[in-house]
């Protein structure tokens, strides 16, 4: 088994065994603390530009299944794990995880001390790095890490967005006969979803809630969105810094008050910018599947899935325009808000990922409720 090296911009170097593609990739080095769901991490476009450390000691055990992909291909730049399984034990698996990432050109480094690495990043903050299975000179890799762009100021959403509009009609499908999902609601609403890096399961959840979904590129104008006659507009998750997305924010601002708006993750941040707020970069972000979030409207705590490195500054929001609806109980960062006068709301976390497992599905019903109440004659 060949060697792979992870080199960080501060000069720290970790060496381990190479799996996956015999390649070299660079990006921001981040960590995710979820125990399961590694395939969803691999294929989430929000991880574009990032090398991901998974803290669960064993990764790859249950292989991969095409039905679990969140997009058409892996988007992570590289994978760092304590122990990687070269075999899969799962009746649903159609490809072992190493082959899946190898086909996507993603290098893997295993057999290194992920606990020490994560502690280092928690202390110093996430940083740029290079993961290489082809270069043995660690100092060269450190210099490469220092030369790549930082995540702050980087527009990645425009790169991962669809180039052409398309329709999505597939509802949620059970993973096994024992999984109870329920019958999809009757299709009553047309939603235009901005693709900033949208996940398939978000689209499935919208259909499950009774929506016909048209997915459009991230730079689609507000006028073109309105020309599609939607009942509501959805703002998706995505990678990178929200502040460079000036054109996207301007389009969202034009849509507020015209159609009901629902945003998730990057969509939450963009809606925050559209109502006059500001965003900032977190020290090491929120990436995991057990983050407690309190709904201020119900006082219930939801166990939620997170994947973001930026947050909306609550002090930058105008309290006359915006009502805070959700707080993160780990660090008291803003997790959700709604507009006081217009049908627009958003959350920072991922309700479609369902680690609770169903704690946050109500948000999709809230969206359909807003669309129903906004239809002509709804108040009569």
pLDDT at 177: 67
Over residues 189-221, the pLDDT tens digits come to: 999 999 999 999 999 999 999 999 999 999 999
Q: Are 244 and 155 in contact (CB under 8 A)?
A: yes
104 and 215 housed in the same domain: no
Q: Is residue 370 part of a domain?
A: yes
3-state helix, strand, coil in the chain (%, to 5): 25, 30, 45
> pLDDT tier at 352 (50, 70, 90 boundaries)?
very high
- What are the angstrom distances between the C-alpha of 185 and each of 141, 142, 171, 182? 52, 53, 10, 9
309 and 275 housed in the same domain: yes
- Which residues have a Cβ under 8 Å from the Cβ of 86 and sit 6 or more positions away? 19, 60, 96, 98
251 and 320 housed in the same domain: yes
Residue by residue, DSSP assigns 280-335 as EEEEEEEEEEEEEEEETTT--EEEEEEEEEEEE-GGGS-TTTEEEEEEETTT--EE
Please return the burial class of 188, using the count of CB atoms within 10 Å of its CB with bins 0-12, 13-18 and 19+: middle
Which strand (E) or helix (H) includes residue 364? helix 362-374
352 and 220 housed in the same domain: yes
Of 36, 370, 324, 75, nearest to 196 by C-alpha is 75
- What are the angstrom distances between the C-alpha of 163 and each of 166, 195, 198, 259? 10, 10, 13, 24
79 and 225 housed in the same domain: no
pLDDT at 356: 81
> pLDDT tier at 77 (50, 70, 90 boundaries)?
very high
In degrees rounded to 5, what are phi and psi of residue 340?
Answer: -75, -30
162 and 143 housed in the same domain: no
Of 332, 325, 337, 328, nearest to 296 by C-alpha is 325
In a 13 Å sphere around the CA of 36, the CA atoms on its Cβ side amount to 8
* Alpha carbon distance 238, 200 (integer Å): 12
139 and 169 housed in the same domain: no
* Alpha carbon distance 291, 349 (integer Å): 9
Pick from 8-22, 48-62, 170-184: least confident: 170-184
Q: Is residue 380 part of a domain?
A: no
Structural domains of the chain, count: 2
Q: Taking 80 as the threshold, does the pLDDT of residue 174 lie above it?
A: no
Q: Is residue 379 part of a domain?
A: no
Q: What share of the chain in percent tops pLDDT 70?
A: 98
302 and 170 housed in the same domain: yes
pLDDT at 178: 66
pTM of the model: 0.96
126 and 227 housed in the same domain: no
Of 154, 80, 153, 149, nearest to 121 by C-alpha is 80
Domain boundary (92, 124, 147) is at 147
Domain that holds residue 78: 3-147
- The domain that holds 273 is classified in CATH as 3.40.50.880
Of 110, 150, 151, nearest to 133 by C-alpha is 110
Domain boundary (120, 147, 174) is at 147
203 and 269 housed in the same domain: yes
pLDDT at 379: 57
pLDDT at 324: 98
Q: Is residue 152 part of a domain?
A: no
DSSP, collapsed to helix, strand or coil, labels residue 270 as: helix
- The domain that holds 75 is classified in CATH as 3.50.30.20
Residue by residue, DSSP assigns 117-137 as HHHHHHHH--EEEEEESS---
* Alpha carbon distance 143, 154 (integer Å): 20
Q: Is residue 340 part of a domain?
A: yes
Q: Are 133 and 21 in contact (CB under 8 A)?
A: yes
Domain boundary (129, 147, 165) is at 147
DSSP state of 191: E
| Residue 159: other Cβ atoms inside 10 A | 15
47 and 123 housed in the same domain: yes
- Which residues have a Cβ under 8 Å from the Cβ of 220 and sit 6 or more positions away? 165, 194, 251
pLDDT at 182: 80
Query: Would you please indicate which residues are annotated as catalytic (active-site) residues?
Result: 265, 350, 352
Over residues 90-109, the pLDDT tens digits come to: 999 999 999 999 999 999 99
7 and 55 housed in the same domain: yes
Over residues 95-147, the pLDDT tens digits come to: 999 999 999 999 999 999 999 999 999 999 999 999 999 999 999 999 999 99
Whole-number average pLDDT of the chain: 95
- What are the angstrom distances between the C-alpha of 12 and each of 78, 79, 129, 130? 17, 17, 9, 11
């Amino acid at each position: 088994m060949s060697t792979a090296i992870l080199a960080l911009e501060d000069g720290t170097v970790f060496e381990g065994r190479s799996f996956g593609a015999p390649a070299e990739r660079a990006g921001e080095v981040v960590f995710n603390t979820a125990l399961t769901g590694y395939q969803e991490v691999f294929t989430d476009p929000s991880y574009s530009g990032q090398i991901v450390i998974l803290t669960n000691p064993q990764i790859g055990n249950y292989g991969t299944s095409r039905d679990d992909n969140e997009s058409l291909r892996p988007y992570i730049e590289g994978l760092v794990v304590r122990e990687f399984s070269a075999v899969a034990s799962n009746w649903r698996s159609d490809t072992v995880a190493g082959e899946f990432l190898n086909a996507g050109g993603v290098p893997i480094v295993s057999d290194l001390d992920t606990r020490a690495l994560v502690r280092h990043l928690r202390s110093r903050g996430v940083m740029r790095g290079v993961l290489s299975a082809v270069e043995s000179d660690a100092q060269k890799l450190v210099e490469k890490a220092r030369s790549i762009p930082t995540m702050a100021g980087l527009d990645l959403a425009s790169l991962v967005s669809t180039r052409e509009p398309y329709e999505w009609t597939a509802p949620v499908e059970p993973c096994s006969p024992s999984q109870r999902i329920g019958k999809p609601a009757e299709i009553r609403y047309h939603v235009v979803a901005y693709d900033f890096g949208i996940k398939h399961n978000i689209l499935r959840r919208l259909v499950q809630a009774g929506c016909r979904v048209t997915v459009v590129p991230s730079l689609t104008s507000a006028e073109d969105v309105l020309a599609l006659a939607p009942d509501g507009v959805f703002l998706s998750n995505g990678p990178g810094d929200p502040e460079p997305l000036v054109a996207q924010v301007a389009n969202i601002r034009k849509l507020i008050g015209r159609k009901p708006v629902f945003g998730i993750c990057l969509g939450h941040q963009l809606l925050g910018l559209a109502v006059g707020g500001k965003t900032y970069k977190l020290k090491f972000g929120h990436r995991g599947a057990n983050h407690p979030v309190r709904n201020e409207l119900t006082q219930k705590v939801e166990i939620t899935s997170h994947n973001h490195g930026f947050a909306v500054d609550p002090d930058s929001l105008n309290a006359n325009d915006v009502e805070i609806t959700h707080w993160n109980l780990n660090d008291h960062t803003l997790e959700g808000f709604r507009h006081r006068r217009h049908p627009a709301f958003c959350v920072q976390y991922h309700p479609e990922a369902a680690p609770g497992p169903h704690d946050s599905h109500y948000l999709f019903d809230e969206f359909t409720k807003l669309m129903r109440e906004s239809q002509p004659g709804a108040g009569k």
